[in-house]
Each structure stands twice: as structure tokens, then as C-alpha cells.
Amino acid sequence: MFESLPYHALNGVYYGFILFMIAAGLTIVFGVLGVLNLAHGELYAFGAFVAFSIVGYLTGLVAEPTGPVTALIFGAVVLVGSLAAAAVLLPVGATLEAAFVRPIYDRDDVYQLLLTYALLLILTDVMKFVWGAKPLDVGVYDGLNAIPTTELFGIDYPTYNVVVVAVGLVVFGWLVWFFDRTKTGRIVRATAIDREMATAIGVSTDRIFTLVFAMGAFFAGFGGAMVSIGPGSAYLEMGLSPLVLSFVVIVIGGLGSLRGALVGALLVGVTTQVVTPYYSELELAVPFVLMVVVLLVRPEGLYGTWGEIE
Amino acid sequence: MLEARNLRKTFGELRATDDVSLQFGTTDGEMVFIVGPNGAGKTTLVNLLTGLLTPDQGSVVVHQDDGDGSTVEREITGLAPEKRVDAGLVRSFQIVHVFEEMTVRENLRVAVLSERGETLNVLSFDDGHDGVERTVDDLLAQFRLEDVADEVADTLPHGDRKLLDVAMSFGLEPTYLLLDEPTAGVATREKEYVIETIAEASDADDVTTVTIEHDMDIVKSYADRLVVLHEGRVFREGDPSLLETDGELRRVLLGVDE
Amino acid sequence: MTGRPSSSNDTGGIERRDALKLVGGSTLAVALAGCTALIGDESDDSTEDADVPDEPIEAGLQTFTEGAPAVLGLQAQYGAETAVRRINDDGGVAGREIDLDVVNEGDEHIQNYRQFVDEGKDVTFGPISSGGHEAMVPEIEDRGVVNVATDGTVTTLYEESFPDATYSFRFQNHDVMEALAAVNQAVEVLGADSIDTYAGINPNYAFGQDEMALFSSGIEKLTGAEEVYSGFPELGADDMSAHVTEVNGTEPDVVFSSCWGGDATLLLEQAHANGMFDSTDLLVGPVLYGSANDLSADLVDGPIYSGSRNFYWDEPGTDRWTPAADLVSEVQSEYDVVPTAHFMSGYGAVTAWATAAEKAVDVLGRWPEQDEIAAILEGHGFFTPAGYHTIGADHQGYSNAHFGELAWSDEYDAAILENVSVFAPKDVSPPPGTVSGDWIDAW
Amino acid sequence: MSDPLLEVSNLTATVAGFEVTHGIDLEVGEGEAVALVGRNGAGKTSTFRSIMGLTPIAGGSIRFDGEELTDLRSELIPKRGIGYQPEGRDLFTGMTVEENFRLPIWTAGDARGIDDEDAVVEDVFDLFTELENRRDAEVQNLSGGQGKMTAIGRALALQPDLLILDEPLEGLAPVVVENLKSYIREIIDRDISVLVAESNASHVPEIVDRMYVIERGEIVDSGDPDDLVQDEEIQLLMQGGGT
Amino acid sequence: MSRARLSAENLPTSVRVVLVVLGLGVLLAVPDLARVTPLSFATIHKGLLFGLAAVGLNLLLRHTELVSFGHVAFFGTGAYGAAVLATYYEVSSGLVLLAGAVLAATAVALVVGYLVAGHLDIYFALLTLAFNQVLFAFVVQSSFFNSTDGLSVRVGVDRPSLLGLDQLLVSAGLDPVQAYNYVLYYLTVAILVVVVLVTWKLVNSPFGRALDAIGQDRTRARFIGIPVERYVWIAFTISGIYGGIAGGLFALLQLHVRPEPVLFAFVSGEILFMAILGGVGTLVGPIVGGVILVYLLDLARFYVTYYHALTGIVLLAVVYFLPEGILGSLPALGAAIERRRRDPGLVRNDVETVVTSVRRSVRRAVTTVRILVFGVN
């Protein structure tokens, strides 16, 4: 009964990295701006739709993969397309922050929730207007899987999954590098830790907030793009469940903690995938039970410190 | 009597409270003042006594009259703050803690209602208790808050908020009242009045007060006993006249080399 | 029960001659079938003298118009609109045109129905959701405005929960039909003797659970096969690899899946990517073809058979059944999709009601009341491009069930079915008044 | 005398809509070291925060180097050349001492005309020699004195024309206080203007040339520190006695 | 968190009396209003029920200042409580069903409340959300609750009886469905009035003041002797009971209960938004918010294609222009209009303000683009 366990764990790792990419943006925004962005899931969906258009266009320019080399080219084109799709989210996120979120930072939390909920609804219809009401599948999944990866090791693990894990690791690595090593990243951290003091050394918190929200949107969109080039498709309400799961992930990991988001995501991903085949009925409940247990035992989450990115 | 026994509390590498043993209320209505430079551990000690912090080591004990003249010891080290209030232990805060969106009267009313064990009452109106209102009126008068009785707390000048904080503590009819810098930020002319009120109330109701205070004039005039903390330890304990006589104490406390 | 399916070369289960008798000469039936030539220009004037109001018929359809389930819902909408268009082009129902309002069903089925009734709708159609339909039935009975469900195929609904419904009908067959058609198809492809083990991957809600249960009892009856795995990914899942992995681990002869919409594409994509077709001989799915327009050529590659409920657009063949002749091109030019079974859900629901209403006007000589239309709908027979349908005395639809091998068509740029088998209603669904479970047990 | 570097006139600041300072006037000349002395809560911190643009101003003006600061966005004020060590430390926790020094250069270095970032950082370490071997320590692990030094160092890294220090000596052990005083004197010797707040008047004469006494949000006296510290009335005030 | 003091309570008593009478009048007239206007009676009824749940949520939100993301758990528990009694125990008395609803919700609220009472802020919010989703997952998986198809609230096909009042109306010649809905509606109104009165009494009692104390300064509350966690627990349970009553009535209204509409966590969010929309600082604002949001969510789709956006824009407008929610902002709005009537010159200022803020927004957007193109700093 349990001989497939390693496969389930591998599937969980892949799923965890998908969750991580979505949750990372949410946790950054929350960590720095202190705003729980309910529209995050829609930005993720937005990324998926944009990826449908951009990746679809780009792969239309290259041939379907026929051998390992063309497959690699194909894969590269898809990845570039996904990045381009996520990049579209940068101005979207920045505009949302500057136009809508900024005026209400000093309002009560609940109004921020209401505002981001309103944005969620509006974004949904923006997508409906642009891409229509039906699910869209860019259909590059098969082409991606034509790149041989794990077959070389005799494991039947779709190349797409390998790509997601690799990309997820790169995203994590990049984020850690950004916040630990770059000037801008450390300025962002300083702003998160102490807004006033950051101002007092010359940081424009307005700009940092815009940047961070744009970044959050970028990673949400990138997560969406990665899903959209995978076996799933882009559809309007696709953001709801990842949004709720992202809450779970960042709470388990500790609010504002990147490492926490990664560990939380992998924990949720692997647990869900390992439990699901044996106890299907628990699939929905697993992440939440996990979160309740973590919060009751460690109220701060596994890593987190409030408002600090680490 | 309220007693600290070998209390110790560390934060990281910092020993905020280091093996402190003290007794308060050895005489009825005693006024003890705790003084010491910033960082001496005064507030930490009060937090340990009132249950905001749990000590790493040591215990907090109250000696209670068991009714037939003898006293029993009751250890309250692990007791929740609200339970300590029942045991007669009340405090005010250095940073004002009042209910910002309530009026002054409402603030006092909650305290008095709580003291009377009425807070679970849902059948009456909060302002429908004559006895409570009389007490609130008394407190308002006692702390000169009548004029601002219907002002919302967060619109009050700092001094009045401070007075309100202290007044709420008095509304709880404490046996032991721990006051963390009750006069900090209070206008100078009102300072005397605040401390005078505390002294009077302490006398009248046999309340033992433990007050953190920086103003040495006040300490000199009102202290029955002085406790000097320095670097987490009890540096001196005794008569307030020490302030005049003890050179080392003056240096530590006032930063004055003489 | 023999389990012996009729093939597509038969007459399609229902005898044409019987069917034509039931048409009763109504122009409408012909219009709906999409072929006025069927009875030439011999028009029937009986409804023209009837006492019928002038204003159009207000009709409401609730269906999933957006998001993941729109894969099915929009097809139903296209179907209903196409039927309405044809009816109106042909002069309406006893001279009355139909005005169709479409609304997204969401999770608010009862609320939607109430709103339609409050707006004064003469008839309502929908929903897709089976749970939503179940919730609506008593409300429909209370309000007394006829609703013909497009879908909502809970098996037990009219068998056990509401055996005495008056105003609530369902055009689609109940889901026992699809599950049993899948059983029969599997037996036909692999042979009963070669099926020793089976597995299931079904959406984790009432529909998926029911379908799996029905498939299990059916296949065990016919082949004595043993279930080796049954997984239930949540509806609208992001990932099914756990279940595919388990299937790979247990290597069943047949895999059954009632996944639909995005779940169906997800399943096929992950099944291919994880090499599931190396581990199993056959995948049968009653509603996979619902995603015909969202599949790609590589996804339909493999031993995959899909049901298409009571309608597959190439069956009966257009050369033999002219009403279907123009349909695909009409739908493709109008909506840029090939029609699927859910198209017929919408088309058929509207047609069922419209033909019944027309028949009622014929009989009564005036516009019928709700209960009169309802009475006529019981046991009502009518044609659509899919052939002949009846609404049983138990208020649910009975029509032929279609099943075939998934294949790719460059011509249509969509998935198609090849080697379509057609199962007569009596072979795959219990007679009205019999509970499905009991019926299968009695095989 | 030329125009003062910093000129605060008639400054009224509000916190939560409540006036915390009333008509403050003070000046700091080029290269001058000035103290603002008063008890806890007298209005020192509010005055400083107003200068830094962190506390809203209800009236009055703040001129720095001939420019009006009151309309300036607060993040531009450090870029004009004011370094600020807030009361407490408010260091950027989770980051090293060195990072705390580099941050202001990254944000305001261009505006301050700093070309050689490393040179500036080393300069700060040269001043606070005992931070040298704590360079890579995360700031939350520093002792009280080291924390204060880091906070001052961070303000210095801006290469400010004016350094505002809010109770730099508060809460430190006497030895450390002496140490820190000598550092501050060294900074003053580098021709940086300093405005320092103190609640303990006794330190002041050793550090500054001139002092203001603040009480209840108003400047009540100013002059030579040596004279003022001897003044009975000021002593009384500082100890909190009545007037 | 600090909230401005309740503006609505600053209204003169006479105005308030007029408003109360007006409100009650409108409530009572809804069935007739719905007959002569295109307003949907059923939707308003549903909105009132969600509003009732939002009143319960607001008890926590306004007084203890805790944001619950899991309030629909109690609404759903209540609804299912009634459905289980009807389906499995053939209970046909509406009152008994309602009692079952309240009992079920109370039990769940007691358990959840005990576990979350010590948590604050976002942790409280997300814990309540988690319990909500665990409950949802449990019901969806359970064949006892008939998983996603849900349970009927009828015995057979019969509607529950409502104290025989509906029968009375039927014998007076009313259509049975209409009779049932009218009686249920007026029962709802009666319960609503009672609940509002009880809430009013509650929040103005010593206990209510203690809850305010907890919300405004937990530490202080503790140090005046209030057992904070216990009181939060009690308040949480009371708020859950409101949810249960509303859910039970909803079960009686819909006569069928399915998990998504009454247990899914997003509906919890909607209840929260109802309270904010109507006015957190007011007693009956959440009811107004409930009716409006339910109306938008349920019926906007009948009228416009982009109904999500419509709802979103309404909410945006409330956030920006009615900062205290609809009811909460009425006094300020009234005063502003009154001022402008007396001094029309102010309108010009308003226009200027709008122009300036638009210009500022444009400038911000330009800056934003510049940041993106040239990077930060």
C-alpha cells in the first residue's frame, strides 16, 4: 500500500514549490506593508491568463519539440514567456498600490481587507473582460515534458515538476539573495523593521511600498504562470483556494518569513500529497489542521517574527 | 504583606532582576518608593510582582489575614494578573494604559464595576449602579477629573490621562498598589496633588503602595521606606534619609559627583 | 441484463417509426430538429387559431457562465440559445417567441430560481450543478413554475428524494446511465474476462462519489473485477498526481473517471506525464468529452474512451439523420466550438418544454397553465438533433447513451469520438419507478 | 555671526491632535554643540522628531542651512544632512552593525556626495573602535553601549552637517557613559554640529557649548551650561521639584 | 487599532427615534414593497439573516476588536443543525428546528471559542478561518451530511410548521408558500428586533463595557481584574449563537442546506464585509450591510455582465467615501450636506479637492512608472 510513498513525497515537493511561489509574494507584502492582500489570488490568476497569451504567442513562433535540443529550446521559450508574463504584473501591482492601497495605510485593518476584497472582485471582471469567462489552457505542458530529465535516473517524474522545483529553488534563492545581499533588498528589510527610522535615514517608504507590492504581484503572477504552463489551466476563480492556502502557509511558517514560507509550503504540500491517496477525505482539511496545530503549539509560526523578512 | 522572594528574571544576557527579595506592607498603609537609574530593573520588578512577567526563579507571596487574627501565606507566582487583582494587587503603568475610546467616567466605571464583581452582569446598564456611580464621582473628585469626566480618554492631555490611570487603580480598592512612575509627565503643580492623593488614600484605606519614582523631592517627603535598585539588584533599602547621607547612592541615582 | 450493447449501426435504440408517430405533426418539433424538410411544407395550423397571448415567453436559464465549470455551463447556454433561436426563427411556440435570460448559477440555485419566478418567468431551465438541482426541486414544487433541469444528474433525486414531483423535470439522463455505459464500454473494449482489477479517480463530491459507486457495482456484476484503488481529488483540483501515482502503483486493467471540465484535462495531462497509460489498459470516463474543445491532440492519445451522454454530434450519422446536419457548422460559426453533451442539455431542456407547451396548446386550444404543461411533460417524447428523447413518468430524461474512443480531429480542431457505441436507455438505466441500486443488484 | 545652521522658531508640534510643544525657539550654529535639557516628557523627543519630519507640525518653522524643512518630505531631511539617533536605539534588527552603517549611505549617499562608501564606513569604525570586532554581529545581540554607538554611527555614516542625538547616554553603565561622552566630544571636534538631548544635566557641561532647558513643551532657559547646571532653579526643575 | 467614537450615537435622541421607527416601518413593509417594486423579497430576507449573523460578528469586531474570518462556521452549523433534525429526526416544528440550530452553533462556538480566545490580530483571524475550513471539509466529506448535495430541511416534501401561523393564513385563503414565507419573514423580523434589543442591552451592560475594555486595551483590562480570555470566550460564543439563529432561520428560508453557501470560509469574509460595509461602529449597520451585500452578490448578476466589478466598485466607494460604513457615515454625511446647503461655496472646495486628489493620483502613477523603469532611488 505504501510503496508509492516516495512518489507521493516527490509530488508533494513539487506542489509545495507551487504553493511557495504564491505564498512568497503574500508574505513579503504582509511583512513590509502590513496589509493582508486578499486580491493576491487574483494577481496569481492574472499571471496565469497573461501567461496564456504571452507563452501561447511565443511558443507559436517556435516549433513543437521533436528531439532533446528542440525540447530544450521550447522549454526555454516557455520559461522566458512565464517571466515576461510575471513582469506584466509589476506595473499592475505598482498601480494598484499607488492608486488604491496607499490612501488607506493609516485606516483600520478591516478597511484594508475590505479594499483588497473589492480589488479582488474588480480584478476578476477585468480578467473576464480581457480573456473571457472560460478556462484557458496554453497547452505547453506536454512539450515541456518532452525534455528528458528524471528518466535519465529511471524515475518517472514529469519534467514539468522538475522545472517547478528548480524554478522554485531559484525563486527562493533569488529572494534570499535579494533581501540579504542587495542594497535595495536590505533597504526594504530596514523599512519593514522600522518605517520611521528608515525615513530618518532617507528611505522613501512610499516607493518601497510600491516596489514591494509590485514584487508581491510579480511573484503571484509568476506562480500563476507556472501553474498555467503546467497541467492546469487559467480560470477565473483559480485564485481562491491558493489564496486561502497561502494564508495557511505563511502562518505556519511565520508571518513575513521567507524561510518560513518555504518550509510551510513544503510541509503543506508534502503532507497533503502523502495523506491524499490514503485518506482522500482529509485532503481539504489537512492544511488547516496543520495550521491549527502549529498555531496552538507555536503561536508565532515556525520561524516568524512579525514584520521582518528573513 | 506582599513579598518577593529571590526573584530573578533575565532577558537574553541581561539580568533585569537579580535575586531580589523584598517585603512590602510590613506596616499598615506603608508607602514604599523604588528608585534607581534607568535600566535598574524597577519596572521589571513591578511586572514580576503583578504577573505581567513570570520570574525565571523565585516566588511572589502575599500574606493574608485568614479571619481569626493569624495570617496565611499564599503564593501567587504563577497567578494570572486578573486573579492577583482579586488578591488585592493592583498596578498602574508607566506608559498610560487607559481605555482610549471611553470617556473618563466610563473608564473609572469599568474599574469600579470590575472591583464589585459586576462585569459579567448583562441585566443592568453599565451606568445603572448607584453605588458605582457614587464611587466614580468620588474618584473624579479625588483626582480632579470632574471637568473632563465626559471627555474621551484619547483626547485628554497627558497629565489627565496619567491621573485617570492612577484613579482607575484606586477604583479597584487595592490592598497593594504598585505605581510605575505615577507622576511622570504630570504637570508639576499636579504632581504634588497626585502623590498627596495617593498618600491620603493609602492612609485612609491602609493601602500599601509601591511606587517607582524619579522625583527625589517626592520620595523624600512621602516615603516610609526606600528601595534602591541598581543593575537588577537591591542596592540600598531603608529610610529615605539615605538620599541625603549616602554619597554613593547619590552618585548612582543623581549622577552627581559630590 | 445481457450487457450486450447495441452498436451504432442499429437504429439507435429507439425505433424511428415509433418516434415519428410521437411527433404528432407539430411544426415546432421539426423546427427544433433543425429540418423543416422533414415533413415538407405541409404545415399544421392547429395552433394558429388557439387563444394564445401575444407577448413573448419569458424564460430563464441558470448555468455556469464563468470560471472552471463554464466548460459545461456555456455549452448548455449555447444549446439553449440555439434552440431558442431556431424556435423563434420558426415562429415561436404557438406563435409566441421566447425571451431567454441567462444567469450564472454560482452557488445560489434556489435564490436564482426564486428571482426568475419573481421576475415572472413562464419557465426556467438549469442548473448544471447536481447538488443545486437537488436543492431546488422542493422550491420548484412550491412555486409551481416548471423548471427543466439541463443537467443536475443525481441518480437518487427522482428515484428516492422526490418520486412525486410535479413541476420539476430533468432533460438529462440520470448518472447511472453514464456509469453503466462506461461499464459496458469497458467490457466491450477489453472483454469481461480480461478485466480483473479496476480503479477510480473521481471528483470529491456527491456526483463523483455516486458515479464511482455505480461503476463499481456495475463492473463487479459483469466481470467480477476487484477494486484496487479509488481516489477522490477535490473538485477543481490543482493537482491529481497523487492519484495517478497510486494507479501506477496498482496497475488496474480499467480506470474509471467521472472528472469533467478542468479536472478532466488535468487528469489527462497528468496521466500522460506520469505514464499512467503504461500501467493501465483502459481509461473510461463518462464526461471526459465535455472538455472536447479544451483537449489537445497529444492528450487524447491512448486507450481513452469517453461517454458523451445522450448526444454525440456525429451520431446518428448526419447522412441518415438530417436534423443534425447543419448543427455542428452552425455551432462552430456561432460559438467557435464543437457541441458536446452539455450543449444538448441546454438544447434538449428548452426543446422538451417548448414541444410540450405546443402540444398543450394543440390539445387545449389555449395557452396552458403550469400544471398542464407539467402534465404533458410527463411521458413526453420529442426530437432533437440527437435523436429521440422521452421524459419519463419519473420526470427524468431517457435517451440513448453514447460512448466512443477519444481521438483528435484537425478538421474540427477539437477532440472527437470514434467507434461510437450507442446504448439504449433500457440497457443502461432502470425503468421509471425502480431504484438504480436495486436494479443493478438484480442483474 | 553668520546664519545658524539650524533655526527652529516658534515650533508647535502635535501628537494625536494634542500639542506637545509650544513655540519652541532654538538655534544650532555651524560646528556648534548644543544640548536640549529637560525631564522625561518635557518635549525633547517631540522637538527632534518634528525636525526630522516624523511628528506633525502645527505651526512655526524649521530652517536648515537656509532651507525651510517644514514642507519637505521627511525622507529628504536626512539627505539634506541631518543625522538622527533616536531615543532608544531603533536599530535595524536582524542586520549587522556594518549593514546598519551602510544603509544610510545607500539611501542618501548620493545626496550627501559620498563617493567612497567603504571609506566612510571605515571612518565610523575608526571612531567607535570597540565596534570593530562586532562588525558582523547582528545588532540585537549588542550590549546597551554598543547599541547606542551603532545608532550614532549610523547617523554619522550620512556624513551629516548636523547630528541629532536623543539621550545618547540614557540607561548606560557609568563607565560606558564616560566612554560615549568622549566619542561625542570627538565627533564635535570633527566640526560636525551636534544637538543633543539630555535628561541628566550633569553630563551636559562636558559635552556642549550651549544649552537650552525645556519644560512642559517650552524653552524656559538657555545659556552657558556651566552656569545653568549650577542654577538652583534648574536643578530643582531637573529633579522634578516644584517651581 | 483605534476606532473613532461611534458617530451614530451622537445623533439627537429625536432623530434616532425617527430613524428607529422608520427602520422598523421599512422592515415591516418589505413584503409589500417587494410586491410593488422589482425588489426581491427573498433576497432581502436572506440579506437580513446574513445581517443578523454580521451583528453577531460585530459584537467581536466592534467591542473586543477581534476580526473573525470564520463566522460562517456558526451560521452553517445552525443551518445544518436544523437540517439534521428535519432530515433524520423528522422534526417539523420550525421552533424546534431553530432551537436545534442554536444548540448546535453554541456547542461549536464554545469549542472554537475556547481554542481561539487567547489569540490576537491576524492570528485570531486565521485561526478562526482554519476552524471554519476544517468544519467545511468535515461536512463536505461526510455522508451523514450528504456531502456537497446537502440536506433538506423538510420532512418529506413538507415545509416545517411555523407555530401554526402559516396554516392560519392558509385557511384565510393565502397561498401556502406565500403564507409560509410571510410568517417566516415576520418571525425573522421579530427575532431580529429582539436580537438587536438584546445586543443593545448587552453592549450597554457592565459586561459590554468589559468587552470594550478588552478591545481597547487588553493589558489594562487584565489589570483591572477582567479575566480577558474567559470574557472573549463568552463573547465569541454569544456571537456564534447569533450566527446559529441566523443559520437556522436561513435553513427555514432555503429549506435545503448545502455546504458551499453556508460553510465555506469565503462566506465568512463576506459576513465580515457586511459588518464593515454597514458600519462597524453601529448596532444595526451590519444588517444594512448584510442586505446590501447579499443583494449585490446574489442579484447583480441578473442585471449586469460585470457584476463582480459592480460589487467591487460599490465597496471601493464605501471605503473611500463613507469611512465609517454606510450607517456609520450617515451623521457626518448629513452634517456635510447641511453645511453645503448653508454655504454653497463649499461645493467649489469639494470640486477642488477632487481635482487635486485626481492630479495627485496621476502624479503618483507617473512616479510609479518611473520607479519601475529606473528602479528605486
Q: Tell me, what CATH number does B179's domain have? A: 3.40.50.300
Query: Quick one: pLDDT at residue E3?
Result: 37
Those residues whose C-beta lies under 8 Å from the C-beta of residue E161, and which sit 6 or more positions away, are E92, E93, E94, E167
C68 and A CB contact within 8 Å: yes
For residue A29, is pLDDT > 90?
yes
Q: Of C91, C68, C172, C37, which is closest to residue C354 (Cα–Cα)?
A: C91
**Is E in contact with A (3 or more beta carbon pairs below 8 Å)?**
yes
Residue with grid cell 440497457, as numbered in its chain: C427
Amino acid, single-letter form, for residue C184: N
For A272: left if phi > 0, alpha if psi spans -120 to 50, otherwise beta; the answer is alpha
Q: Which residues on E lie below 8 Å from A289 (Cβ)?
A: 130, 134
Q: Could you give the 3-state DSSP secondary structure of residue A1?
A: coil
E and B touch per CB criterion (3+ pairs under 8 A): yes
| Mean pLDDT computed over C339-344 | 92
Residue-number span of the structural domain to which B90 is assigned: 2-254
For the stretch E127-185, pLDDT in tens is: 999 999 999 999 988 889 988 889 999 988 889 999 888 888 888 888 888 899 999 99
Residue C421, helix vs strand vs coil = strand
Distance CA C341, CA C349 (A): 12
D196, burial (CB in 10 Å: exposed 0-12, middle 13-18, buried 19+): buried
CA distance C126 to C149: 4
Neighbors of chain A by Cβ distance (3+ pairs < 8 Å):
C, D, E
User: What pLDDT does residue B3 have?
Assistant: 86
CA distance C43 to C50: 15
Name the least confident of A247-251, C7-11, D20-24: C7-11
Reported as a pLDDT band with limits 50, 70 and 90, residue B188 is: low
Q: What percent of chain C has pLDDT over 90?
A: 49
- Residue D189's CB is within 10 A of a number of other CB atoms, namely 10
Count of structural domains, chain B: 1
Which residues, in sequence order, are CB contacts of E363 under 8 Å at separation 6+? none
Q: Which of residues 221-260 of E touch B (CB under 8 A)?
A: 221-228, 231, 234
- Average model confidence (pLDDT) across chain B: 83
Looking at residues B48-57, what average pLDDT do you find? Answer: 87
Q: What is the pLDDT of residue C160?
A: 80
Contact C206 E149 (CB under 8 A): yes
CA–CA separation, E266 vs E263, rounded Å? 8
Task: Evaluate if residue A140 carries a pLDDT over 70.
Answer: yes
pLDDT value of residue E9: 52
Q: How many domains does chain A divide into?
A: 1
Residue D26's pLDDT is what? 92
**B116 three-state secondary structure:** coil
Residues of C in contact with A281 (CB under 8 A): 204, 232
Question: Which structural domains are found in chain D, ordered by start?
Answer: 4-87+155-238 (3.40.50.300)
* Three-state DSSP class for residue D110: coil
**Rounded CA separation B40/B29 (Å):** 26
pLDDT at position D40 over 80:
no
pLDDT at E5: 40
pLDDT of residue A269: 92
Q: What is the model's pLDDT at position E139?
A: 93
Helix pair C241-250, A5-33: axis angle to 10 deg: 170
Instruction: Enter the DSSP assignment of C93.
Output: B
Residue C432 predicted with pLDDT over 90: no
ipTM of the complex: 0.88
Q: What residue has cell string 458515479?
A: C211
Quick check: D235 pLDDT over 90? no
The torsion defined by the Cα of D232, D236, D238 and D243, in degrees rounded to 10, comes to -110
pLDDT digits (tens, 9 = 90+) for A57-84: 998 888 777 777 888 888 889 999 999 9
Answer whether E207 sits within 8 Å of B100, measured CB to CB: no
Instruction: Write the CA distances from C388 to C32, C286, C428, integer angstroms.
Output: 12, 20, 16
Comparing B209-213, C75-79, C259-263, E367-371, the range with the smallest average pLDDT is: E367-371
Contact D240 B37 (CB under 8 A): no
pTM: 0.90
Residue E4 has pLDDT above 50, yes or no: no
Output the pLDDT for position C49: 67
Contacts with B123 from chain E: Cβ below 8 Å:
205
C200-237: pLDDT as tens digits: 999 988 889 889 999 999 999 999 999 999 999 888 88
Find chains touching chain D: ≥3 CB pairs under 8 Å: A, B, E
Is D230 within 8 Å of chain B by CB? no
Query: Average of pLDDT values for E29-38?
Result: 85
The string of pLDDT tens digits covering residues D65-85 is 989 998 888 999 999 999 999
What is the pLDDT at residue C15?
43
Q: How many residues comprise chain B?
A: 258
Distance (Å, rounded) from C-alpha B150 to C-alpha B146?
A: 8
pLDDT of residue B258: 40
State the DSSP H helix or E strand holding residue A239, giving kind and residue range, or none if neither: none
The model's confidence at residue E122, banded by pLDDT at 50, 70 and 90, is confident
CB contact under 8 A, B172 and E5: no
Average pLDDT of the residues in B123-136: 88
- Which percentage of chain B shows pLDDT scores above 70? 94
Q: Which amino acid does the sequence have at A202?
A: G
Cα nearest neighbour of D53 on chain A: A200
Q: Which residues pair with B63 in a beta bridge?
A: B73
Q: Which residues contact D114 (CB under 8 A, 6 or more apart)?
A: D105, D120, D159
Q: Which residues of E touch D107 (CB under 8 A)?
A: 377
The DSSP secondary structure of D164-209, one letter per residue, reads EEESTTTT--HHHHHHHHHHHHHHHHTT-EEEEEES-GGGHHHH-S
Residue C16 banded pLDDT, cuts 50, 70, 90 = very low
| pLDDT mean over A107-132 | 93
Least confident segment among C285-299, E74-88, E94-108: C285-299
CA distances from A12 to A248, A269, A274, A303 (A): 16, 5, 7, 21
| Residue E373: per-residue pLDDT | 56
Q: What is the DSSP string of A96-113?
A: HIIIIIGGGTTS-HHHHH
Looking at residue C157, what is its pLDDT?
Answer: 80
pLDDT tier for residue C31 given thresholds of 50, 70 and 90? low
Task: Give C163→chain E minimum CA distance, Å.
Answer: 10
A159: domain range?
15-236
Say whether pLDDT at A217 is over 50: yes
Higher pLDDT, C132 or B12: C132
* pLDDT tens profile E248-297: 999 999 999 999 999 999 999 999 999 999 999 889 999 999 999 999 99
Q: Residue C26, exposed/middle/buried by CB under 10 A (0-12, 13-18, 19+)? A: buried
E2 in contact with D at a CB cutoff of 8 Å? no
Instruction: Dig out the grid coordinates for C205 from the structure.
Output: 463530491
Tens of pLDDT, residues D109-151: 888 998 999 999 999 999 998 898 889 998 888 887 889 999 9
Domains and CATH numbers, chain C: 8-173+316-398 (3.40.50.2300), 176-308+400-441 (3.40.50.2300)
In this predicted structure, what is the pLDDT of residue D242? 36
DSSP assignment, residue A66?
-
Decide which of A45 and A231 is more confident.
Answer: A45
- List the end-to-end C-alpha distance of chain A, in Å, as a whole number: 40
Percentage of residues of chain E with pLDDT beyond 70: 93
Burial of E25 (0-12, 13-18, 19+ CB in 10 A): exposed
Instruction: Give the pLDDT confidence score for residue D16 in this predicted structure.
Output: 65
- A positions 188-247 inside 8 Å of E (CB): 204, 207-208, 210-211, 214, 240, 244, 247
Helix (H, G, I), strand (E, B) or coil at E70: coil
Which SS3 state, helix, strand or coil, does residue A187 take? Answer: helix
Q: Are E137 and A284 in contact (CB under 8 A)?
A: yes
What are phi and psi for residue C284, nearest 5 degrees?
Answer: -115, 130
**Is residue A152 over pLDDT 70?**
no
pLDDT in tens, C43-92: 455 555 678 888 999 999 999 999 888 999 999 999 999 999 999 998 89
State percent of chain D over pLDDT 70: 93
Over residues A149-174, mean pLDDT: 83
Q: Which residues of A touch D154 (CB under 8 A)?
A: 201
Contact residues, chain E, for C139 at CB < 8 Å: 255-256
> Could you read off the pLDDT of E181-215 as tens digits, one per residue?
999 999 999 999 999 999 999 999 999 999 999 99
* Mean pLDDT of the residues in chain D: 86
Q: Is residue C99 exposed (0-12), middle (13-18) or buried (19+ Cβ within 10 Å)?
A: middle
Name residue A92's amino acid.
Answer: V
Q: How close, in Å, is residue A246 to chain C by CA atoms?
A: 14
| Cα within 13 Å of Cα(A32), Cβ side | 30
Task: Write out chain A residues lying below 8 Å of D95, CB-based.
Answer: 186, 189-190
Rg over CA atoms, chain A: 19
Residue A26 to residue B97: CA distance in whole angstroms:
34
Three cell numbers at B177? 498598589
- Structural domain contains residue A83: yes
